[in-house]
Structure 1
Amino acid sequence: MKKYIRILLISIFLLHACIDPFPIEQNGFEDVLVVEATLTDEEKVQQIRLSRTYPFDSVAPVAESGASVSVRAASGQAFSFQETEPGLYRSSQAFAVLPDTEYSLEINSSNGTTYLSEPELLPGRANIDQLYAIRQNNENGTEGVFIYLDGSVTSGNADYFRYEYEETYKIIAPEWSPEEFLLTDYDPCALPEITYSLEIVPRSEEQQVCYNTVASNSVILNDGNSLSGGAFEGLPVRFLGATDFMIRHRYSILVKQYVQQPEAFSYYQALSDFSSSESIFNSTQPGFLNGNIRVDGDPDAKVIGYFELATVSEERLFFNFEDIFPDLPIPPYIQNCTVSSAPDDHISYCAPGPTGPNPCPRSVVESVDQGLISYVGPNSENLGTCPGTYAYVPKPCGDCRELGSNIIPEFWIE
């Protein structure tokens, strides 16, 4: 589940599957609690996110803050959750959901409403046996790389699966220079001329190589019909075109496999079926989908979301562009990196009298002040329609921090 939901209740959809569908109700917009709660068999700080539905004319989603959240096991053990940021509640202690034990969720909102879930059990367990990349064309004939996985059931009833992935990719600024602009004492309104000090100094931190991580925003499901002898092979998880910026250098994907109960699988399948975009929990939904959470004492009140217990397996894959496409040029950079030049400074913003149109581009000191450019070197080739002292490129071309973090991820392997 990802962040927040927009709901437009305009129609009733009938869902047919090998497992019972969830009913979708037709109505107008309502302010409804959204619960995102998947607890797993991993020993970790578990988390639950609460928010509210919001209409199209709303500019920002609303987190549900100030709630009291707890999970109780049938054995009597209780786990409290604390709000660590608006709408995000984390368990006060690390714990793993245990097999053969029922768990229930209770939420007491700040307005006094109590929400209760149905008791849930942990399903069986399955492993991701292999995660691999194959160069192929997709159904549209686009050349690229498919990420596939093979898996197998290891214990209990494990017939229904949901997948999430997290991608991390390496960014190398193509026009990086070991030196950078340093602008101080800049007063664009000084008279009769502006004041500033512009120096070229050694870069003070890493700006050439960075890394960016992006979480998946779609739901990938795999049901028991694809199992053969408790195993499945060749499940496509991700496709990236051969010109995708993310695989320009080195790419990694972490895939998580959640084994679900049939009812939880049905809920996610229904959401996926009538969602209007890839991100089903951020999209317009054409109906209301009931989950396993209700308002205590009000059976007709609506709640969105599902309290789910799942077993988890994960696997990570790395590859370089040339590993998959040794005969192709690397994908283009995400930014046009044409080297340019402009006048060093400009007339005062507070100069009296009419100034008229300026045929020259924004001055270097203005661009540096606004964080728009990155130093390349002296303008020895007299570049630009109004050449200046310095040659430069758009900031992302020389400073990778515009596109990612210069901190190497702990898991990264070259």
Structure 2
Amino acid sequence: MKFKTKHIKHLYKKVFLVLFCISVSSCTEQYVFQSNTFESILVVQANITNELKTQEIKITRSYRLEEYGPPTEEGVNVYVTEDGSKSYEFEFEKATGLYVSKAPFQAVPEKSYQLHFTTKEGKSYSSSIETLTPVNEINVEPKIETIDGEKGVQIRVTSFDPSAKSLFYRYEYDETYKIVAPDWKPNKLIVAPFTTNGFPDFIVVPREEETRVCFTTKKSDNLILVNTTDLSEDRIDLPIRFIGIAEPILNERYSIIVRQYVQNLESYTYYSTLKKLSTSESIFSQVQPGFNYGNLKSDDNADEKIVGYFEVSSVSSKRIFFNFRDIFVADPYPPYYIPCVPEELQNCWDAGPGCRGPKILSIVKAPKTAGAYYGRFDDIFVFVPSPCGDCTSFSSNIRPLFWID
């Protein structure tokens, strides 16, 4: 299970926009943004859990406003200590840009953990000492609800800690849905190795790869935080994902896995502050909270800024599957992603208005998004929009290992 970084990356970028604004003498006048006051700051995303797995840590640097994304900090010596003695070493994985533990391990109760790392320049950093939070199991259920007049399925997460020790929670989810191309055909059109009357011709051949059934996975991209400190019970009943009945992702089979991280007060406060900074109506508002310090520090320079948090948290997860008819017994199925209207093209090369040989050639030679072969009637070829006949034009034909039909 890969460490989730997409939503944190966007949040950190917005935080730096806030900090940049603070550094400008006045935010009430027009200002052409330039990175003249750019400060390179380490950004660390680290969450060690109670799952027995190869743990992952991401170390990057802040980036300029005009840059696309954060540069990965390579050549870092990373390790996590347990009770100040046992050490778990990490190594850089080029393909993912993550530091991955050399051996699987898990955080266990009544032991302490601390992150240490040294950059290739020899600068040393460490975190505060953290312990594992309580474990609180979750349940995930789909329920029919109507929101703002729209009927749909609400994914609800519930949990209960009778000891009332959990209190602070962070959630994330991955959703995966099956796609079946409605106008898929077992054959495709290719350019023939010969010509007819000096013009290109075409032949129909069997498809060599799966293009009918695909799977798309998307990850939650926002921080979902909940606390129960103001409630009489440490009980969660959270609507985490609403899907309208007309959404095509429900057309076939849908799956979602929800993860609940139990946080301590400090980590919850850090992520709450990060969320407030990133969701402000305007980064030019009167609220100027300053730098969001976490539990990481430089061992060499107490004044050096570093962004991020080393979290040791218990995680509980639950995956569910359902088909459209499992939820909606009598409602009509959602429409497909796009209208699937066939187009007939005559295979000839004369200058007349009915000849479409050049267009057929452009479709066959173009990427998959140009169109999908649907059938043939004498010298007429029929095409449909690519998603209608070839799901790989917008999704993946790789079946997830966890998928159950």
Coarse TM-score class (shorter-chain normalised): 0.7 to 0.9
Give 1:311 deviation, angstroms.
0.5
| Whole-Å separation in 2 of the counterparts to 1:394 and 1:320 | 26
For 1:97-152, what per-residue CA distance to the aligned partner results, in whole angstroms no more than 9, with x for missing partners?
12111111112122332221111111111110x211111122x3332211112112
On the 8 A contact 1:345/1:366 being kept in 2, the answer is no
Matched, 1:31 2:40: yes
Matched, 1:61 2:70: yes
RMSD over aligned Cα atoms:
3.0
| Whole-Å separation in 1 of the counterparts to 2:358 and 2:344 | 10
| Whole-Å separation in 2 of the counterparts to 1:201 and 1:145 | 42
* Aligned residue type for 1:369: K
On the 8 A contact 1:11/1:286 being kept in 2, the answer is no
Aligned ranges 1:331-350 → 2 under 5 Å: 331-342=334-345, 344=347
Moved more, 84-93 or 361-370: 361-370
* Aligned residue type for 1:160: F
On the 8 A contact 2:246/2:333 being kept in 1, the answer is yes
Q: How many residues align?
A: 371
Give 1:72 deviation, angstroms.
1.0
**Alignment partner, residue 24 of structure 1:** none
On the 8 A contact 1:126/1:154 being kept in 2, the answer is no
SS at match of 1:125: coil
For 1:198-225, what per-residue CA distance to the aligned partner results, in whole angstroms no more than 9, with x for missing partners?
2211222322111111111111112123
On the 8 A contact 2:345/2:355 being kept in 1, the answer is no
Matched, 1:413 2:386: no
Unaligned ranges ≥5, structure 1: 13-26, 279-284, 348-354, 381-387
Matched, 1:165 2:163: no
Aligned ranges 1:315-334 → 2 under 5 Å: 315-334=318-337
| Whole-Å separation in 1 of the counterparts to 2:348 and 2:48 | 58
**Cα gap change, 1:311 to 1:346, in 2 (>3 Å):** farther
**Alignment partner, residue 359 of structure 2:** 363
On the 8 A contact 2:343/2:383 being kept in 1, the answer is yes
For 1:362-404, what per-residue CA distance to the aligned partner results, in whole angstroms no more than 9, with x for missing partners?
6112112112221100157xxxxxxx62101122211112233
On the 8 A contact 1:341/1:379 being kept in 2, the answer is no
For 1:26-48, what per-residue CA distance to the aligned partner results, in whole angstroms no more than 9, with x for missing partners?
x9542211111000011100000
Give 1:230 deviation, angstroms.
4.0
Q: Decide which of 388, 393, 405 is 1:397's aligned counterpart.
A: 388
SS at match of 1:322: helix
Give 1:361 deviation, angstroms.
9.5
SS at match of 1:55: coil
**Alignment partner, residue 183 of structure 1:** 191
SS at match of 2:60: strand
**Alignment partner, residue 103 of structure 2:** 93
SS at match of 2:266: helix
**Alignment partner, residue 105 of structure 1:** 115
Give 1:81 deviation, angstroms.
0.6
| Whole-Å separation in 2 of the counterparts to 1:345 and 1:337 | 25
**Percentage of matched positions with identical amino acids:** 36
| Whole-Å separation in 2 of the counterparts to 1:358 and 1:53 | 58
Aligned ranges 1:241-280 → 2 under 5 Å: 241-276=244-279
For 1:223-280, what per-residue CA distance to the aligned partner results, in whole angstroms no more than 9, with x for missing partners?
1236544433x211111122222212111100111111110111111111221499xx
Higher helix share: 2
On the 8 A contact 1:75/1:101 being kept in 2, the answer is no
On the 8 A contact 1:342/1:362 being kept in 2, the answer is no
**Alignment partner, residue 235 of structure 1:** 238
**Alignment partner, residue 205 of structure 1:** 209
| Whole-Å separation in 2 of the counterparts to 1:362 and 1:213 | 37
Unaligned ranges ≥5, structure 2: 24-35, 282-287
On the 8 A contact 1:245/1:331 being kept in 2, the answer is yes
SS at match of 1:126: coil
Give 1:313 deviation, angstroms.
0.8
Give 1:87 deviation, angstroms.
3.0
* Aligned residue type for 1:400: C
**Cα gap change, 1:184 to 1:78, in 2 (>3 Å):** farther
TM-score (norm 2): 0.83
On the 8 A contact 1:345/1:363 being kept in 2, the answer is no
| Whole-Å separation in 1 of the counterparts to 2:307 and 2:345 | 55
| Whole-Å separation in 1 of the counterparts to 2:324 and 2:290 | 42
| Whole-Å separation in 2 of the counterparts to 1:240 and 1:201 | 39
TM-score (norm 1): 0.81
SS at match of 1:38: strand
